[in-house]
Structure 1
């Protein structure tokens, strides 16, 4: 539905930088929990023996996280982003507390998959909305700095988890992570709205829309009745009584299509974008889950070196989340091209990891993995925003989240089954590379074709601009003569 927009002055800074720091704290203590799933729950779930179960838990977590996009819009409209983010932090805390007392697989599914996943799904868009209201031209840098908080957490959290696991055991380690997630409430306190929010009554707005549609429908019916009356149709009443059930269903379907912006699905390029990003997202989640166990069981590294390699990945991710937006904005590289380059870089790093057990090469590929991962994370929503019109952006982001939720449960489970069936982390890495290669092979010719077409259109417009004054001058001379 369309909501009246109120013009606001965007300061491009000021209190906005305080909000960026607060969002970085929230991301550091909540979003980074996803990266330590394998390290935190691997021993309890015996991931080395059964990867399928762990993949099911993480994929259901991603399913809950992404399908929260169906109703996150009304939640942010009805409540402040501050309240939505605080609710997400509380749900993460409750889910991890449930996991600390878990004795069965379904306990982990309820605690981690649904409560933690749903909580993280509330945190991400609400914090983005808070930043978005304070920044315009510096929005990319602000988002990059806030996402760097996740990278800082990925550097620190693995060592904290390893310390608690070695000294206090599994339950104390999970409870420590649950307590740490409550730090996000402190960050949510600073998510102050730029201006007093516009009162948005969803029920009243829906009632006004229904009244407007009813008036339009009645006027159309009156026109239909007048036309048969002029032709002296003996039974004009047969047109007057439309099916009320059919009318209600069509109106509800129309409203649903408008709310979700389903007309975007008519665009084949949009399908390519959301499916490709969902495949990269699924591959990244599976890699995050198996990477520490690959280092431990295939490369033969001890737990301290494994934690160091994970910190190297996170450190490179942090640096490039800060630098990459500045570089791409200055060079004006399209967001989707940067995303594609990051995908190709992740494919390259995993190929080298699958073929070596040398520690220097593993560290170098860990750096490359962090660098290329930042390119896909930062440019995810930016790629959608560059393709969709501003009034369709919210629907585009929601459809992208839904695509991730569907593909992560299908392709992600297949990757977990491949690891269990082959009993090899190397084959699992190759399977991830097949997914990434598919995206590269589909996107590359399409992006190249669109670039060539845009270049031709630009050259034609330039030629038209220069030829039109010449033709006008020639016509003027002829008229004077």
Structure 2
């Protein structure tokens, strides 16, 4: 019996190895940040030029707006549902290899689109290959950065995401030049070649002090062996009857299905779903993500049809959103890291700012108000984008982070397809951008009202625990002093 109690859990061994790492909080980590910025600039920014690249070609194929929306929605679905595989992939193949695979899939998908002759070619190339590739890139590059930083993690993530923002500013001009001078096929093939520059960045994603070969399949086998040692193959059950006591052996419950279920739970870290706070985090962030996607889609139409701005002013306001987003991705983490504000609190502040901006835009369409709210939207958007994965990393243990990121992506995919489609229906049914803005605001307000009491409660409980610990230490110190005297 004592041998069973002393059996060491393999998972605790992994935790001990990871906790013994020395995190440089910089050093080579800044090279990793630059590499991730390059990957984001050449791959993640592809999403911003979909309209430029493909809408004209789809119109030549006599396809309507529904087809273009279907392609982008399926792209988002593939991007987020890649979270189903991202946890096991990162554990088994390391972030560098997963990021490189994502870059290759993006390049392959764009190359297929270059030779498209029917709309389903775009669905295959852009929706599935590009979407799945981008889904592999985002969490794997975050995992690479996360291992090198502690107190400076926020600014490191901000700089890496600024690469995507810079790409969204520069690449549309490159695409316009290529389309005007060389045509559709050459432009798409050029974007495909550009995405392969991400492989150069992926080569620098060197893991920090990797543990002794953490193979996911081997880890699961060790867990299964440990469980086998703890339970004997024959369990005796004593059944009392009116006449006597008999013994019988229960049927063997260790079936193939149960073993496969255990492997699936371990590979995808599904035990995280037992945590109510984790559910609150991923669902709340998915709702904010959906409201942000919907706002990005309707904002140009709101400016043109409701606010009655010309195309030049519409472009100017959209540039203000992008510019404020990029600047705050660089500056905001420096402030929040210095003040040591929790990532989830910064995310919550961003939600409140987005809610305020939407309500003000719905109430007042004067040009100075629109300009100021465009800047505020960009600033608050950066607070949510930067602290998305950081919030999960602060809640999950390091060995569960990959699975946590994957589950978060899957929740986004589900809510984008359901709540996102509902927001689109509200816009079409009401035929009003203002009502759609209020609907987005209602979603953001729901997250704020749900998160705030929980965060305050956890903060108060943590502060009480800290005060009690300090009191205990002071009492112990006083007793030691008394004994020495």
**Candidates 226, 236, 250, aligned match of 1:224:** 236
Cα-to-partner distance string for 1:24-68 (whole Å, 9 max, x where unaligned): 01111211222344555556668xx97765554333322222222
Query: 2:66, 2:422 → 1: CA distance?
Result: 9
Q: Which residue of 1 aligns with 2:137?
A: 123
Cα-to-partner distance string for 1:307-340 (whole Å, 9 max, x where unaligned): 4433322221121112212211222222211111
Superposed displacement of residue 175, structure 1: 4.0
| Count of matched residue pairs | 463
**Candidates 34, 41, 45, aligned match of 1:21:** 34
Determine if contact 1:159/1:307 at 8 Å carries over to the other structure. Answer: no
Q: Which residue of 1 aligns with 2:355?
A: 347
Determine if contact 1:52/1:420 at 8 Å carries over to the other structure. Answer: no
Determine if contact 2:91/2:402 at 8 Å carries over to the other structure. Answer: no
Pairwise mapping of residues 34-433 of structure 1 onto structure 2 (< 5 A)? 34-38=47-51, 40-41=53-54, 54-102=68-116, 104-164=118-178, 173-195=187-209, 198-217=212-231, 219=232, 221=234, 224=236, 236=247, 238-239=248-249, 242-243=251-252, 247-301=255-309, 303=311, 305-355=313-363, 357-433=365-441
Cα-to-partner distance string for 1:129-188 (whole Å, 9 max, x where unaligned): 222333333322222211111111122233334455566665555444333322222222
* Structure 2 residue runs without a partner (length 5+): 1-9
Query: 1:113, 1:181 → 2: CA distance?
Result: 16
Superposed displacement of residue 264, structure 1: 2.9
Query: 1:458, 1:133 → 2: CA distance?
Result: 27
User: TM-score, structure 1 length as denominator?
Assistant: 0.83
Distance of aligned partners of 1:270 and 1:78 in 2 relative to their CA distance in 1, 3 Å threshold: closer
Root-mean-square deviation (CA), in Å? 3.6
Superposed displacement of residue 301, structure 1: 4.7
Query: 2:185, 2:367 → 1: CA distance?
Result: 32
Superposed displacement of residue 399, structure 1: 2.1
Cα-to-partner distance string for 1:225-271 (whole Å, 9 max, x where unaligned): 8x89xxxx9975x41x6246x53333332333333333333333222
Determine if contact 1:321/1:375 at 8 Å carries over to the other structure. Answer: yes
Residue 236 of structure 2 aligns to a residue whose secondary structure is: helix
Distance of aligned partners of 1:126 and 1:452 in 2 relative to their CA distance in 1, 3 Å threshold: closer
Residue 79 of structure 1 aligns to a residue whose secondary structure is: helix
User: TM-score, structure 2 length as denominator?
Assistant: 0.82
Superposed displacement of residue 286, structure 1: 2.0
Query: 1:171, 1:313 → 2: CA distance?
Result: 31
Query: 1:157, 1:352 → 2: CA distance?
Result: 32
Superposed displacement of residue 197, structure 1: 7.0
Determine if contact 1:158/1:310 at 8 Å carries over to the other structure. Answer: no
Query: 2:38, 2:316 → 1: CA distance?
Result: 22
Query: 1:209, 1:265 → 2: CA distance?
Result: 19
Residue 279 of structure 2 aligns to a residue whose secondary structure is: helix
Residue 82 of structure 2 aligns to a residue whose secondary structure is: helix
Pairwise mapping of residues 447-458 of structure 1 onto structure 2 (< 5 A)? 447-458=455-466
| More displaced stretch, 408-417 vs 351-360 | 351-360
Cα-to-partner distance string for 1:326-364 (whole Å, 9 max, x where unaligned): 211222222211111101111222233345554443332
Superposed displacement of residue 278, structure 1: 0.5
Query: 1:418, 1:171 → 2: CA distance?
Result: 37
| More displaced stretch, 155-164 vs 115-124 | 155-164
Cα-to-partner distance string for 1:279-324 (whole Å, 9 max, x where unaligned): 0011112222333344445445555544443332222112111221
Determine if contact 2:291/2:443 at 8 Å carries over to the other structure. Answer: yes
| More displaced stretch, 266-275 vs 155-164 | 155-164
Distance of aligned partners of 1:201 and 1:341 in 2 relative to their CA distance in 1, 3 Å threshold: closer
Distance of aligned partners of 1:292 and 1:149 in 2 relative to their CA distance in 1, 3 Å threshold: same
Distance of aligned partners of 1:55 and 1:338 in 2 relative to their CA distance in 1, 3 Å threshold: farther
Query: 2:196, 2:86 → 1: CA distance?
Result: 21
Distance of aligned partners of 1:445 and 1:191 in 2 relative to their CA distance in 1, 3 Å threshold: closer
Query: 1:458, 1:204 → 2: CA distance?
Result: 39
Query: 1:121, 1:157 → 2: CA distance?
Result: 20
Distance of aligned partners of 1:200 and 1:469 in 2 relative to their CA distance in 1, 3 Å threshold: closer
Q: Which residue of 2 aligns with 1:479?
A: none
Query: 2:343, 2:185 → 1: CA distance?
Result: 42
Query: 2:97, 2:401 → 1: CA distance?
Result: 23
Query: 1:103, 1:287 → 2: CA distance?
Result: 32
Query: 1:441, 1:392 → 2: CA distance?
Result: 28
| More displaced stretch, 458-467 vs 72-81 | 458-467
| More displaced stretch, 456-465 vs 95-104 | 456-465
